[in-house]
A and B are shown apart, each in its own frame.
Chain A
């Protein structure tokens, strides 16, 4: 039975869906007000944020298929901020390339709704729906530039591999259903804990397949192959969204599954997750060393960060859940801003993406250079930026559970990462450009940069601003 309570629990999503549909309708007008569409989209985001934060709802809804609480609220705020940021970043980029159309904004909103459902999901079916809503929107967005070969190629690649990974996810869910008789999170957990007749092999295999499905989405090695190509080919404003949204959503959903449902099963898979984490950070960092294209470099950096986060998934304790949540918030904001700057520096014909194009940026636009340096230092985990705290929380949880060697590997990886994160800093501050023309800071990038300063530096000095919220969010899972 659908009740009023059910509907209120999904108000923020509904607000976004209505806005997204409205945007599509506006686009059908004879002379669509294209330069105003982004504000419609942002209004939708703001309404959703107000509903999410201002009217907190707790409990299970839609016959237990959706669970709303501190965890989903915390992450949904992240998604909404990322979605809003993606809209803002897109404006100068789309205008620069004369591709500003309402579908773009609309699809970003749909993708955001998908991410929000992934964390609210309390049933594998809803998780799947959220995942698909997110993925399908992204397939289109990646290939949004119909006339660019690179964009088309990236879109097709992402579609094929994404569809493949969805198959893994679905097959895994089917096996779990076969063994436990339900797709509901609670029911599955109870079955795993209490049912002696349960086929352990089926559950284990099912979870393994789910894990592979998620590994594709968050780009864990060896399921990361698509990431650099797709990020490079996609419009840069979408690469920004792609490297943050799905990764945060994927890890959040995986975390919820691992902690709430498959705590026991995960322990059987610990060896595999250990190897996944170790491989992901090492391959990600070593590959990033060799990239000259910043989009590819940031793509591999995203892979490396997935490796650090996988350590948290492996540990699976309350502290590590907290660490992951904090890390995701910080990673999302900094990566979004880093890509935002890349998009602003990029020139019309996909030029201006090499490290060498950043030479002398400190003179050509000191604010952007400083912000980019801040984002990179936070990603590298230099204290006193928030990126350091993220790593500290995840690694300390791992050490207290005895994963010292994995943490040693992780810090050595951070050392490697410093080299490539500092390369653009070197170019910006220590080298001079042949072309010293000033770079313009687009006005819509300003809010994203403010977000970056608040998160990377503000939370670095006053981490408690986010620590207590993430602690509550993590606590609500246990």
Chain B
């Protein structure tokens, strides 16, 4: 048991790759076997990560640490160093939760080169888990980049008509940011050598570095650019709609569900703790971009004619809240940001899945082709409505917890941003409910009519689709009604983050008010 505890995190990270290796050994023709093995591996990974969730001590320290020297010559201290705190724990859970769901949904939606798809997806899971678990800058960078190629293949091989363009755009955008981040990592690495006398990429040591304000500024910008592209923050978002529209449904789910979170996570884990002075300096800039993104994404979502594109733009808007919460830098807002990342992963992931279900039946995503779906597919309509309401932030569903914390928390430090963000909530209700209205109600649209003319009525959710969507619905409700288990785990880490930030930026006083968050339903009411 002890051995398992010590290597649990490594096991979780590499289990998917191990599974991918097994799948590669299977003959490509045995589709069902491949699909089941992939699902099995992803479920085992989830169970292992659940052990992580249960075994996590609720304090601010990094746990389940594993530290092995990796590259050492001339005192180069590059190590395999992984560990989790509350923030990364939640994102790891999100990843391991969404991956099996994605794989299950791919049973229906991916029908060519199944083996390759499963391998790419599982390898990518390793990359994503590694990003969240790394405590070494170098290791982090490796994982960060390593998941690019699988995602590139998923979009490029299994994507839609303009997949080549979208895939290349995705890679070049992401790489542009991350390569500049690499330069900043190299600079920190050599700064560390100057101050410690030895080279190290150990995150826990590097956060103690005292970097001059000027150097902090450009390093912060290099890191922030990389994360801003990933989130994506306005105006670096243009790759996202293309990638989402062209990616196959499982690809979209992973992209929206997990990949985009790596940006928010990067801000929290690297930008703020490593460069507090620069953070203080650039907070207005990032908050502005976040708020612009909230409104801009929402306005663009309103005018989309393609369902998937609409959801993609709503992502830009919703992730603006995350960045606002993070850079408002109060306990509530940052906690809200983390929770909102998970929420967005669930609700937007679910929206992409549902849009995928509909597309599978009618082969069109044009909103104008629809109407009156609710009578043909009542169950799907109900599920869609619930997910939409969660995404809008209806109390009792998960979205509310995050948005509430972000807006309340940032009102104290960024009042203007908070007010505009609140307006954004209304906008998101407008475009999402309007979408529901146009697709599910009213007279039957062309696509619906055509299918019924062909003689076979639109099928409601199949059993497999229920299996895909039910776990997400359950979590959406659980997190909305009883968010404590999640909040309890995030809070200490966020508390530590915010306090050490204000300790490093001494001239800025710590905002007055409550320091701890007690969050319950009574308080909301």
Interface residues of A (CB under 8 A from B): 318-319, 322, 377, 382-384, 388-389, 392, 395-396, 399-400, 404, 407-408, 411-412, 414-415, 418-419, 422, 426, 429-430, 463-464, 467-468, 470-471
Contacts and interface: CB of A to CB of B under 8 A. Distances in A.
B156 A426 contact: yes
Contacts of A408: 180, 183
A275 to B, nearest CB: 20
Contacts of A395: 182-183, 186
B30 to A, nearest CB: 16
B190 A399 contact: yes
Interface stretch (B89-97, B168-176, B411-419): B168-176
Interface string B354-375: 0000000000000000000000
**Which 9 pairs from chain A and chain B are nearest by CB?**
A400-B190, A471-B73, A411-B179, A399-B186, A383-B142, A430-B156, A383-B145, A396-B186, A467-B73
A128 B156 CA distance: 50
18 contacts: A377-B149, A382-B145, A382-B146, A383-B142, A388-B145, A396-B189, A396-B190, A399-B183, A399-B187, A411-B183, A414-B179, A415-B172, A418-B175, A422-B152, A422-B171, A464-B70, A464-B71, A464-B72
A83 to B, nearest CB: 27
Contacts of B153: 429
A470 B72 CA distance: 12
Contact of B168 (A318, A392, A422, A463): A422
A269 B189 CA distance: 27
B141 interface: yes
A129 B168 CA distance: 47
B74 interface: yes
Interface string B72-92: 111000000000000000000
A3 to B, nearest CB: 35
B148 interface: yes
A365 to B, nearest CB: 14
Contacts of A418: 171-172, 175
Contacts of B142: 383-384, 388
Nearest to B74: A319
Interface residues of B, number: 33
Interface string B240-277: 00000000000000000000000000000000000000
Most chain B Cβ neighbours within 10 Å, of A384, A395, A396? A396
Contacts of B186: 392, 395-396, 399-400, 407
Nearest to A430: B156
Contacts of B164: 426, 430
Contact of B71 (A382, A399, A430, A467): A467
Given A399-B186, A471-B74, A383 B141 contact: yes
B156 A415 contact: no
Contacts, number: 86
A122 to B, nearest CB: 25
A382 B190 contact: no
Contacts of B152: 422
A430 B157 contact: yes
Most chain A Cβ neighbours within 10 Å, of B167, B171, B179? B179
B190 A463 contact: no
B193 interface: yes
Contacts of A419: 168, 172
B189 A399 contact: yes
B163 interface: yes
B398 to A, nearest CB: 34
Task: Name A's interface SS.
Answer: helix
Contact of B183 (A389, A404, A464, A471): A404
Given A399-B186, A426-B156, A464-B70, 19 more contacts: A383-B141, A383-B145, A384-B146, A388-B142, A388-B145, A392-B182, A395-B186, A407-B183, A407-B186, A408-B180, A411-B183, A415-B175, A419-B168, A426-B168, A429-B153, A430-B156, A430-B157, A430-B163, A467-B73
A280 to B, nearest CB: 18
Contacts of A388: 142, 145
A411 B182 contact: yes
B146 A415 contact: no
A355 B180 CA distance: 30
A413 to B, nearest CB: 9
B172 A400 contact: no
B148 to A, nearest CB: 7
A470 B74 CA distance: 11
Contact of A468 (B73, B172, B182, B189): B73
A390 to B, nearest CB: 12
B73 A382 contact: no
Contacts of A468: 73
A322 B163 CA distance: 41
B412 to A, nearest CB: 38
Nearest to A413: B179
B168 A404 contact: no
B149 A382 contact: yes
Given A429-B153, A430-B157, A412 B179 contact: yes
Interface in B166-209: 167-168, 171-172, 175-176, 179-180, 182-183, 186-187, 189-190, 193
Contact of A415 (B71, B167, B176): B176
A389 B74 CA distance: 15
A419 B190 CA distance: 30
A318 B189 CA distance: 16
Contacts of A430: 156-157, 163-164, 167
Contact of B73 (A322, A400, A415): A322
A170 B163 CA distance: 54
A319 B183 CA distance: 17
A459 to B, nearest CB: 11
A419 B152 CA distance: 12
A420 to B, nearest CB: 11
Given A383-B145, A408-B180, A429-B156, A400 B193 contact: yes
A92 B153 CA distance: 32
Most chain B Cβ neighbours within 10 Å, of A322, A404, A414, A470? A404
Nearest to A366: B28
A291 to B, nearest CB: 17
B179 A318 contact: no
A400 B189 contact: yes
A399 B138 CA distance: 15
A462 to B, nearest CB: 9
Nearest to B145: A383
B524 to A, nearest CB: 44
Nearest to B130: A384
A396 B167 CA distance: 30
Contacts of A384: 142, 146
Nearest to B73: A471
Interface in B35-49: none
A414 B164 CA distance: 20
A383 B142 CA distance: 5
Nearest to B179: A411
Contacts of A426: 156, 164, 167-168
Contacts of B193: 400
Nearest to A472: B73
A422 B168 CA distance: 8
A419 B156 CA distance: 14
A415 to B, nearest CB: 5
Contacts of B187: 399, 404
A140 to B, nearest CB: 40
B486 to A, nearest CB: 32
A454 to B, nearest CB: 17
